Amino acid sequence: MKRDQSTEEKIKAAAKKVFMTKGFDGCSVRDIAKEVGSNVALLNYYFRSKEKLFELIFEGAMSDFLQSMIAVFSSDLTLKEKVEQLIDKEFSFFLEHPELPMFILQSLHQNKTDAPMPSHFLEPIANTGIFEQFEKAKAQGEVRDISIRNVTLLLMSNVHYPFMSKKLTMQFHGITAEDFDEDLKKHKEIVKELITNYLFISNPKA
Amino acid sequence: MKRDQSTEEKIKAAAKKVFMTKGFDGCSVRDIAKEVGSNVALLNYYFRSKEKLFELIFEGAMSDFLQSMIAVFSSDLTLKEKVEQLIDKEFSFFLEHPELPMFILQSLHQNKTDAPMPSHFLEPIANTGIFEQFEKAKAQGEVRDISIRNVTLLLMSNVHYPFMSKKLTMQFHGITAEDFDEDLKKHKEIVKELITNYLFISNPKA
DNA sequence: CCAAAATTTAAACAATTGTTTAATTTTTCC
DNA sequence: GGAAAAATTAAACAATTGTTTAAATTTTGG
């Protein structure tokens, strides 16, 4: 019989916190149990194993990671507006979840998850029609001749990397975390202008 | 008395390979010993501990990581030429060491090294006079009004991230490693044009 | 050639790992 | 209220962790 749901949720929250900051290999199940204020047997009682628990956390993180895109893409804005909104929304989102890009890329890099990205993550994005909108804009000369894959890489580079590079950048320039956060704000506007200037042709043919 | 140097070097090479791909937490000293074809006691005989060995590998990696900049900066090219050359050189370099950006950022992110970046890494860069060259170009209206820190972040984002995102991008677009490597080549040219277009003002005042 | 030094090895160390067992407590529900 | 179910705990499990010890081997230098 079902009981207070909060224990399972508390474990998930603790696991998310610990996995996100230390990584799968960087923590023990006892670290997570301590964060919960309980013991290790309870973790396996609810989630069977460290790996299973991680899979769960990772899938949730990946979902969050891609979620912010979908809302923007499925609106009925122009392509340029969508790009600008995407950059805005992603920066806002990652300001609240700054560890997410590193967690996702690191976990994938070290094959901490074997499964390919489930289609339920990707289909919603494809279903927004964003790819068709882009191809159309390209055909009409509004947008530079560039593949959607390269556009994606451009956007991800400029949106994800700043949040992954905090420690490196702070050390590199000898600045504080506060300095860096200031830079980040400015950087959002720079990236917006940088990318829209590049992608969108100012005087379209048609 | 000194003897065949190759053992120490073989251990370092093996450690570099294993640490780079699996990370500090993701491997055991026995993984490294197996890669060497020896046993764990030998590792500690030469390097005292896993941590000490890692510090050594990390410092070497950081040195490589920053090295490619210095050669370009200390040449006597124009700023625009330097930026273009930097992007070219970094892409070439990371094509041969694609795991390096992830290794550096990941290690810093998880505080696998406590020491701040030693000045012998940073001083050579400052000594090239690149910062002064940039400020001068800015004052003369050749370059957009943007801080050097934001420029650095732009460059690093667009040069490092592509190599860190291979797995994510492959899964996201459902493409092969060969497809991705093709994209990378195209991406280098895109990044070059993207950044120079943005930074350098086409019709300088002076 | 041979002792001393340096290198390499196998084995053991205590601590920590993920997981399981079995007992105990708490909740559920008639 | 009390038996059944669910939740929680402490303890133990074997395996793996980083490190050390001590013995064996190889190299060095007179």
pTM of the predicted structure, to 2 decimals: 0.95
Mean pLDDT of chain B: 93
* Chain D bases near protein CB atoms (7 A cut-off): 5-12, 16-22, 27-29
Kindly list the residues from chain B whose CB atom is less than 8 angstroms away from the CB atom of residue A177.
none
From the list A169, A171, A195, the residue facing B116 with the nearest CB is: A171
Q: Which residues of B52-83 are buried (b: 16+ CB within 10 A; e: fewer)?
A: ebbbbbbbebbeebbebbeebbeeeeebeebb
pLDDT on residue A85: 96
CB atoms within 10 A of CB A21: 16
For range A168-192, the mean pLDDT: 97
pLDDT on residue A204: 46
Name the residue of chain B whose CA is nearest to A199's CA: B194
Is the pLDDT at A3 greater than 90, yes or no? no
Q: Mapping DSSP to helix (H, G, I), strand (E, B) and coil, where does residue A62 land? A: helix
Which residue has 């020896």 as its token pair? Answer: B38
Kindly list the residues from chain B whose CB atom is less than 8 angstroms away from the CB atom of residue A160.
161, 165
Q: pLDDT tens digits, residue range B35-86?
A: 999 999 999 999 999 999 999 999 999 999 998 888 888 899 999 999 999 9
pLDDT on residue A29: 98
Strand D contacted by B44 CB (< 7 A): yes
pLDDT on residue B121: 85
Residue A47's nearest nucleotide, by CA–C1', is: C19
Kindly list the residues from chain A whose CB atom is less than 8 angstroms away from the CB atom of residue B117.
171-172
Cα distance between residue B48 and residue A133, in whole Å: 59
**Alpha-helix runs per DSSP H in chain B:** 6-22, 29-36, 40-47, 50-73, 79-96, 100-109, 119-127, 130-139, 148-164, 166-173, 177-199
Q: Between the CA of B120 and the C1' of D28, what is the distance in angstroms?
A: 37
Interface A-B, measured as beta-carbon pairs within 8 A, has a size of 146
Instruction: Work out the minimum CA distance from A23 to partner chain B, whole angstroms.
Output: 8
Is the pLDDT at B132 greater than 80, yes or no? yes
Name the residue of chain B whose CA is nearest to A108's CA: B167
Q: Between the CA of A159 and the C1' of C16, what is the distance in angstroms?
A: 39
Give the residue from A163, A154, A155, A19 showing the smallest Cα distance to A95. Answer: A163
Q: C-alpha distances in angstroms, B171 versus A57, B2, B160, B205?
A: 18, 50, 19, 47
Q: What pLDDT band is residue A111 in, cutting at 50, 70 and 90?
A: very high
- Please indicate whether, in this complex, the C-beta atoms of A172 and B117 are within 8 angstroms of each other: yes
Q: pLDDT tens digits, residue range A7-39?
A: 999 999 999 999 999 999 999 999 999 999 999
Give the residue from A152, A61, A155, A71 showing the smallest Cα distance to A102. Answer: A61
